Amino acid sequence: MFEIQETRLSQSGQCDSHDMQVTRTAAGIVIFNPDRDSLATLVRRIASEVEAVLIYANSAVDAALEATLRAGAGPGGVTILGGGGNVGLGVAYNALLAESLNRRADFLLIFDQDSLSPPGMAQQLSEIHRSLTEIGERPAAIGPRFTDGRGIPMWPRLRNRDAAPSGVAATKVECVISSGSLIDVAAAREVGPFRDDFFIDAIDVEWCMRATSRGFSIWVARDVLMEHEIGIGVIEGPLGLRLPYHPPLRTYTLIRNQASMLTMSHIPLRYKCKVVLFLPLRMAIYLFHGRFARPLRHAIWRGLVDGLLHRLGPPSARLR
């Protein structure tokens, strides 16, 4: 559990009033057996835009990789957290928030290891946060639009009725994907930590909906585009449905955590209805695509049962 203090300091160490609008942003990257070149590129790209680059290692970081990351981070350096064991995304996000607090950061900008931020992303998102705050909103998280390899926006689909007023280039959404999202550290104090028992999948969805239930709002910056890969491939389903492909272990957590949210009071009814309607279709598509292989059948069935019974935690222990 992390705690957020009220005081925000400028780089000089002096207290700033809200009117001065001085902000500090830390970038947090969660890694697990990363592609070294891609990770080094991300670190170089974002290091010049933030006050600190934080790496949470869910796998071991050898001396060569550490040297590469420190060189890419430049004068600001890089801080490596975690013991190298795979403890999941929830633990990693909470550790990154705690370290952001220690550095008196206003924002934490989260990335997966395979994301690549567009130039100026940190400043663009923080400026949108300021604009939203000025018109009376309470943004807890602001994320980019995701694009495919051709640069075409693919998620989320934005509705004009949810666009911010006063010319702010942002649209209110139910949730944002954690990678690329700017988290308001002070808002996180009221929302609470990310669920570490989810391990992976839907951690961002649950946190965003919990934030909304507590009076905050979630936004997508319409003009900030970021390329990001979800899963290890794409399954083409009926009616134009495109699903990310995952191995059985990851399929288990996806099914389990979605099912678990069905019994949570802060999850909106419309989202629960969507899960009830589409989760069986998703499971059928996965089974058909995987040719009904036994490990996949087992992962899907156990995921559904464990989710409804709230038997959470690391998937390897549950599927043993």
What's the pLDDT tens digit per position in 172-220?
Answer: 999 999 999 999 999 999 999 999 999 999 999 999 999 999 999 999 9
Evaluate if residue 81 carries a pLDDT over 60.
Answer: yes
Radius of gyration of the chain (CA): 19
What gap in Å lies between CA 274 and CA 217, rounded to an integer?
Answer: 20
What pLDDT is attached to residue 236? 72
* Residue 119 shares a structural domain with residue 193: yes
**How many Cβ atoms are within 10 Å of 247's Cβ, its own excluded?**
13
Sequence letter at residue 19: D
Unique residue bearing structure tokens 């220690």? 102
Say yes or no: 29 and 96 in one domain. yes
In degrees, to the nearest 5, what angle opens at C-alpha 123 toward C-alphas 117 and 126? 110
**For the domain that residue 90 is a member of, what is the CATH number?**
3.90.550.60
Residue 3 lies in a domain: no
Give a yes or no: residue 290 inside a domain: yes
Decide which of 227, 242, 276 is a domain's last residue: 227
Dist CA 62 CA 108 (whole Å): 25
Is the same domain home to 211 and 245?
no
Residue 240 maps to a domain: yes
Looking at the structure, do residues 103 and 155 belong to the same domain, yes or no? yes
Q: Please check whether residues 139 and 34 belong to one and the same domain.
A: yes
In angstroms, rounded to a whole number, what is the distance separating the alpha carbons of residues 305 and 318? 11
Q: CA–CA distance from 231 to each of 1, 88, 275 (Å)?
A: 29, 16, 19
Backbone φ and ψ of 226, nearest 5°: -135, 130
Q: Label residue 240 by pLDDT band (50, 70, 90).
A: low
Q: Based on the number of CB atoms within 10 Å of its own CB, is 256 exposed (0-12), middle (13-18) or buried (19 or more)? A: buried
Residue 4 resides in a domain:
no
CA angle 101, 102, 103 (to 5 degrees): 90
In this structure, the answer to whether residues 62 and 170 fall within a common structural domain is yes
Is there a domain that residue 30 lies in?
A: yes
Residue 241, CA distances (Å) to 71, 244, 277, 278 in order: 42, 10, 14, 11
Q: Which residues of 160-174 are buried (b: 16+ CB within 10 A; e: fewer)?
A: eeeebeeebbbbbbb
**Chosen domain end from 201, 227, 253:** 227
Q: What is the pTM of this model?
A: 0.89
Q: Both 252 and 215 in a single domain?
A: no
Whether 64 and 195 share a structural domain: yes
Q: For residue 5, what pLDDT is reported? A: 39
Same domain, 195 and 249: no
- pLDDT tens track for 115-161: 889 999 999 999 999 999 999 999 999 999 988 767 777 777 888 89
Does residue 155 share a domain with residue 87? yes
- Does the pLDDT of residue 4 top 90, yes or no? no
pLDDT of residue 143: 97
Q: Evaluate whether 14 touches 20 at the Cβ level (below 8 Å).
A: no
User: Within a domain: residue 11?
Assistant: no
The verdict on residue 10 lying in a domain is no
Say how many domains are in the chain: 2
What's the pLDDT score for residue 114? 86
Helix (DSSP H) and strand (DSSP E) numbers for the chain: 10, 11
Residues 246 and 137 in one domain: no
Quote the tokens at residue 121. Answer: 């992303």
Tell me: do 202 and 171 sit in the same domain: yes
H or E element at residue 110: strand 107-112
pLDDT at residue 12 tops 50 = no
Size of the chain, expressed as the number of residues it contains: 320
Instruction: Let me know if residue 156 belongs to a domain.
Output: yes
Question: Directed axis angle between helix 269-289 and helix 248-261, to 10°?
Answer: 160
Domain boundary among 227, 250, 268: 227
Domain span at residue 312 reads 234-318
* Residues with Cβ within 8 Å of residue 14, at least 6 apart in sequence: none
What type of residue sits at position 102?
N
Tokens 């999202």 belong to which residue? 181
Q: Measure the CA–CA gap between 110 and 230, rounded to whole angstroms.
A: 15
